[in-house]
Chain A
Amino acid sequence: MTRLTLTLAASLLASTAYAETTITLYTSQAPEQAQQTVDAFEAVHPDIKVEWTRNGTSALMNVLRAEIEAGQVQPDVLLVADVINLGELKAGGHLMAYPEAPVGAYDAATYDPDMTFFGTKALTTGIAYNTDIAEPVSKWMDLIKEENRGQIGVPSPLYSGAALNHLHAMIASDIGWQFYEGLNDLDIVPEGGNGPATKAVASGMAKYAIIVDSNALNAKASGSPVDYIVPEDGVSFITEPAAIMSTTEHADEARLFIDFLLSEDGQKLAASQGYLPILPGVAGPEGYPALEDMTLLGYDADEAVKTNDAVTAKFADIFGL
């Protein structure tokens, strides 16, 4: 009996010695890439385990809102597409500030001045086209033509953060709402995320798709008949920011995750996944157009957070969603 108790006690103590902390990540990265990011982080920090869940950014925000309402917030860290959704969370006081984040070498425009979220890479949203069945165009409104009826794959801002970001960038620019009204006239209803839109243009189901550069260029590299255009009137861009939830019980481990994403290793990982890194000095993937050569469509992020509800309501109204 004594031996049994002692063995039990010893094994319990031994198990605590190897105890891992587990943090939960909510991300909008594609599943393979989310797994790669988590694997790379766990390789550097073997005593921290990361459980991740993936969904489109806007859909993820709905899940988070339900969890906040039910008082059961799950994630410790977020790695989502755009700053508008995170800006809304920040305005609600749900993000934890991390003033000591290693952002010394980064451009100030890539992270929040209040240090609640930090950009990790640069993705532009432009026009992908199927080289077998479509011709390249040079402006956004060139797509609004009768022969493209039903043939453009457009992700929805109600699901995808990149698409939401693109919507705000377009309406803040000279193009305005007419692009989306034009899509509606062509019977094109934005739906889902960048993944299915990429698949549609790669398989020939659509002639064009409005997707992020990494999706289009990764598909091109795997042999799909796809190419990526940067229109002259500009592209929108997202920085896929990471943030810590204020309700986290593992703040130290969460900070380590942010540190990893902002480190040189994290940036090299991003480049290997087909993204443009934003740490100066880390080379981007081959064959990518340089950011300096593009016209980047920007907008006031704080303003966007305030007007987001009205903008998405008008969007839903145009397409009858």
Chain B
Amino acid sequence: MSLANDTAKRPLRALRLPLALGGERGLLIALVLFVGLLSIVPLARLAWAALLPGGSFDAARIAELLGNRRVVEATVNTIWISVASTLLATVTGTMAAMLVTLTDMRARTLWVFGFVLPLMIPPQVTALAWVQAFSPASPILGPLGLALPPGTRHPLYSMGGIVFLLGLYNAPLVFLSVRASLQRVPSSLVEAAQAQGARGFAVTRDIVLPLARGGIFAGAALAFVSSIGNFGIQAMLGIPARVSTLITLIYRRLNSYGPSALNDMALLALLLALLTVLGMALTAWLGRRGDQRVDTARRLPRRSLGALRGPVEGLAWLYLVLCLLLPLSALVGTALVRGYGQPLNAETITFENFANALFHHEGIREAFATSLWLTLATVAVLIPVSVALGYVLTWREGWVARVLRLASELAYALPGIIIGVAMILFFLRPLPLIGTGLYGTVWVIFAAYLSNYLALALRPILGGFAQIERGLDEAAQLAGAGILARLRDVVLPSLAPSAAAAAILVFMTAINEIQTSVLLVSSRATTIGPMIIFLEEAGSSTLAAAVGCLMVLLVLILMGLSLLAGRRLPDGVLPWRD
């Protein structure tokens, strides 16, 4: 590649950016603008509206709002539910990880797929399915004679029910983290203990678990953040059960009072953010105090379960049947009858609800379509941006990039509803120069998605960067290639598997999401995630069940497609692949 050829391909003088804006500096400025406008400014606007509405700090107003008995009740409920469900998720996830990593259980890959599947199903669908499974009108338990008699309070419409479902939903998060940790425990320590005469359980309790402590607490942190921000389950169960949490309080107040409640809700959103950060800090501190030795060379040998193998495997598969098949079949059963509470048999079976959802109700079809193209657009924008951000983070030192990363991580970790409130505040007034407002349009939802999922796209890409030859990039730089050309021709092809995995992850997370868009949907722009909540609110339970089934079907199809692409994607990125 001679320099003469190179010169001929450079853009015309008139079109070249001035030196200050070209090249890497320009890229950094663009990244700062992107993350700044989408993450930092809205969150700052939120803090402003919360603490200084109208420009003055009024401690009395804050005290009065936070001291309101409903707010105190919601805060206490939130803390209690998050802590309890995190404990449940941690115990369940750790046990599952130990089962899969340390024993010689058969059909492990399939079991892992089934165990992780609930994480990919939208939480509001999960909640709906479990409610149908245990209601007095249960299509599964009814024929078996196990249904609860009518008049009993539904067991899941309670604090315990919410904790149970949240624990179940987040157990796979802990599982993934602990499993990764267990796979790095040095087997030499275990062998030394066994040489000393320690047997089975003592070795696990005293050697393996303490070494996996980091992974356990990292998983617990993820589970805590996920629990506290899980709108789907808290709304579907908590609102009928009248168990108020901060997230559902914000949602209901904004629905009841409209934009006049925004400043007060911003304060509650800030409180929620504070609780989230406290929880993350606490679990991080707890995790750091353990032994951190790792050895990736040799895996721990698997222990034979011996005589216990049958019962243990039976229990494990029973768990899957109860937690996966029971609710999903109840969901399908409810979707196949016309009136809520009708028993499912050959006479009452009808595909009317599915026909309504797919063909008849334009609103539902439009919601599917909007979700689909919004998610595709989000992926199309976020992948290049995170490749660029990953480049700057990995190969260029600098505090700017680290601040950007922190901002994006914060936007991801905070419950989506906070981003929602921030976006409403940010976009409510018409834009200054253009004149029209973006409020209520699909672009606000798009902005919220870009803000929320940047960190999710960034992680696999950073992992990919760690495995690329830096020398290739430096060689290209020496030959005179500009930053964009280098990213496009040198970095992206090597990064393709990680970028593809990131794209799949963001797509699957965003397409059925509810937290971020539930406050932002309007008559002009609806996504499919909140649709189930709205249908339940309106009293159309069977239609909601049909939509839920379709969403699960979509998830299964996407997961199946990604498994087909399987070997070409890097390990450990997609949670449902072992």
Contacts and interface: CB of A to CB of B under 8 A. Distances in A.
A82 B256 CA distance: 16
Nearest to A49: B362
A195 interface: yes
B341 to A, nearest CB: 6
A70 B439 contact: yes
A159 B362 CA distance: 24
Contacts of B255: 56, 59, 62, 158-159
Which of B135, B429, B535, B539 is packed against the most chain A CB atoms within 10 Å? B539
Which of B150, B157, B440, B522 is packed against the most chain A CB atoms within 10 Å? B150
Interface stretch (A25-33, A94-102, A290-298): A25-33
Contact of B259 (A52, A62, A133): A62
B104 interface: no
Contacts of A70: 428-430, 437, 439-440
B257 interface: yes
Interface in B305-363: 338-342, 356, 360-363
Which of B254, B258, B534 is packed against the most chain A CB atoms within 10 Å? B258
Interface string A47-83: 0000111111011011101110111101100000000
Which of B523, B541, B543 is packed against the most chain A CB atoms within 10 Å? B523
A136 interface: no
A162 B255 CA distance: 16
A203 B538 CA distance: 16
A67 B539 contact: no
B538 to A, nearest CB: 5
B480 interface: no
A223 B339 contact: yes
Contacts of A222: 338-339, 342
A321 B258 contact: no
Interface of B: 68-70, 135-137, 150-154, 157, 239-240, 242, 252-259, 338-342, 356, 360-363, 428-430, 436-437, 439-440, 522-524, 534-541, 543
A53 B367 CA distance: 12
A124 interface: no
Contacts of B360: 35
A95 B259 CA distance: 21
Interface string A229-273: 000000000000000000000000000000000000000000000
B39 to A, nearest CB: 23
B537 A32 contact: no
B287 to A, nearest CB: 39
Interface string A184-210: 000001011111101110111100000
A85 interface: no
Given A62-B259, A63-B523, A72 B538 contact: no
Interface in A107-158: 130, 132-133, 150, 156, 158
A66 B428 contact: yes
Interface of A: 24, 26, 30-32, 35, 51-56, 58-59, 61-63, 65-67, 69-72, 74-75, 130, 132-133, 150, 156, 158-159, 189, 191-196, 198-200, 202-205, 215, 222-225, 320-321
B70 A321 contact: yes
Given A62-B255, A66-B258, A223-B342, A133 B439 contact: no
B240 A72 contact: no
A63 B540 CA distance: 22
B425 to A, nearest CB: 12
Contacts, number: 143
Given A31-B361, A59-B255, A320-B70, A132 B523 contact: no
A140 B412 CA distance: 50
A24 B428 CA distance: 22
B341 A66 contact: no
Given A35-B361, A53-B363, A196-B536, A159 B256 contact: yes
9 contacts: A54-B363, A61-B258, A63-B258, A66-B259, A66-B440, A74-B524, A192-B239, A224-B341, A321-B253
B259 A31 contact: no
Nearest to A130: B151
Contacts of B539: 30, 193-196, 198-199, 215
Contacts of A62: 254-259
A84 to B, nearest CB: 15
A193 B341 contact: no
A224 to B, nearest CB: 6
B439 A31 contact: no
A195 B440 contact: no
A200 B258 CA distance: 27
Given A66-B259, A205-B240, 5 more contacts: A61-B258, A69-B259, A71-B436, A130-B150, A195-B540
A32 B151 contact: no
A227 to B, nearest CB: 14
B530 to A, nearest CB: 12
A20 B90 CA distance: 57
B363 A69 contact: no
Contacts of A53: 363, 522-523
Nearest to A207: B151
B76 to A, nearest CB: 14
A199 B539 CA distance: 7
A53 B530 CA distance: 14
A320 B150 contact: no
A130 B154 CA distance: 15
